[in-house]
Amino acid sequence: MHVMIMAGGAGTRFWPLSRRHRPKQLLSLFGDRPMIAETVERFDGLVEPDAVWVVTNAALAEPIREAVPALPAGNVLLEPVGRNTAPCIGMAAMAVRAKAGAETVLAVFPADHFIRDLDGFRRTVETAAKAAAEPGVIVTIGIEPTRPETGYGYIRRAASDETAAPVDAFVEKPDRETALSYLADGNYLWNAGMFFARVDTMLDEMARQLPALRAQLDEVDAALQAGDDDALAAVFERIASISIDYGVMEGAENVRVVPASFGWSDVGHWDALPDVADTDEDGNVTMGDVVAIDCKNSVLIGHDARVLAAVGLDHLVVVDSEDAVLVAPRHRVQQVRDIVASLRKRSGTLT
């Protein structure tokens, strides 16, 4: 198995701390190290360091390498421009094929998720990788839902006694009533965006469903092997932006899912932080120089240059960065990305 970690995202919902030059995966949100470093470390003992790959955008090359110094320099693959997850995974598949062969299982993970039960996670990864060693099979990990979550996509598994059950369908993010029915049904799992397949299986599915991308990946491969950054940039300019979910997973011929429960969160926005970070006796998450009086269930992030003082807050998010301050009710933090979009239209600064 080779592990590929996708680390090119912008993390806009964690603005104002997450910026283009320091996105979410480079922040230390639930520990003392960047999230990308925590993610890479999860695979210690599962694979050798030279079997771990990080794909990110070229502008983040230096901070990513600083965050994961034990990773071989050649295992940090740089996208000239972002083209969503299918081209990103395709580029990694080409690199792994050249280094380890087409029959190698490629395991794909986001760079910015939280895992509470590390041993349980590793056992699940080993199970999924074993199932994915079969030619033509793509395996995903489905998280056993604990609440009627409307912010995640779902996987509907078929009735089966197999550890890796056949997937009936990938389902879009539901409304609350639908999510409640999924929870009661028992056959719906959260889609955590973790995928396993032999390199040749993944490339064959891309050839069947995304023939234009598959042809372009041969050019990507040639540019990677030649170390030709200009040729790589020229190819990526022509590649269409498409996700692995839409482009491959939903139409793949043989997809299986391993159900899991290891304390997972995608830490998608500020409201998720109390689920993964330490809280005080009143349910507050505080970071930096914060003085909180009679505050409850709030996220209070201060800046080193000044004190963040709060009185009587309840279920609010206050984030003070070097040049911007965010104040929002916790239940509306999904709209932070709308702030980022507005700022980009206005001037492009502060993002």
What is the rounded average pLDDT of the residues 182-204? Answer: 97
pLDDT score of 349 more than 80: no
pLDDT (tens digit, 9 = 90+) per residue, 286-344?
999 999 999 999 999 999 889 999 999 999 999 999 899 999 999 999 999 999 999 99
Radius of gyration of the chain (CA): 21
Band the pLDDT of 123: cuts 50, 70, 90: very high
Q: What is the rounded distance in angstroms from the CA atom of residue 36 to the CA atom of residue 130?
A: 25
- Check residue 291 and give its pLDDT: 97
- Check residue 46 and give its pLDDT: 95
pLDDT score of 348 more than 80: no
What is the rounded average pLDDT of the residues 274-296? Answer: 96
Helix (H, G, I), strand (E, B) or coil at 38: helix
Number of H helices, E strands in the chain: 11, 17
Shortest CA distance to 293 belongs to which of 303, 306, 308, 278? 308
pLDDT score of 218 more than 90: yes
- Check residue 137 and give its pLDDT: 98
The number of beta carbons lying within 10 Å of the beta carbon of residue 309 is 12
- Check residue 32 and give its pLDDT: 86
Q: Which residues contact 29 (CB under 8 A, 6 or more apart)?
A: 14, 35, 267, 273, 276, 277
Helix (H, G, I), strand (E, B) or coil at 299: strand
- Check residue 161 and give its pLDDT: 87
What is the rounded average pLDDT of the residues 342-347? Answer: 88
- Check residue 31 and give its pLDDT: 80
- Check residue 25 and give its pLDDT: 96
- What is the pTM assigned to this prediction? 0.94
Q: Which two tokens stand for residue 117?
A: 């039960």
Percent of the residues in the chain that have a pLDDT greater than 90, as a whole number: 93
pLDDT score of 216 more than 80: yes
Q: Which two tokens stand for residue 3?
A: 């592990």
pLDDT score of 166 more than 80: yes
pLDDT (tens digit, 9 = 90+) per residue, 51-77?
999 999 999 999 999 999 999 999 999
Domain regions of the chain by residue span: 2-265, 270-346
In CATH, 2-265 is 3.90.550.10 = yes
Q: Which two tokens stand for residue 300?
A: 């209070």
pLDDT (tens digit, 9 = 90+) per residue, 6-58?
999 888 999 999 999 999 999 999 888 999 999 999 999 999 999 999 999 99
Shortest CA distance to 220 belongs to which of 53, 318, 94? 94
Mean per-residue pLDDT of the chain: 96
pLDDT score of 209 more than 80: yes
Q: What is the rounded distance in angstroms from the CA atom of residue 2 to the CA atom of residue 198?
A: 10
Q: Which two tokens stand for residue 7?
A: 């680390």
- Check residue 309 and give its pLDDT: 97
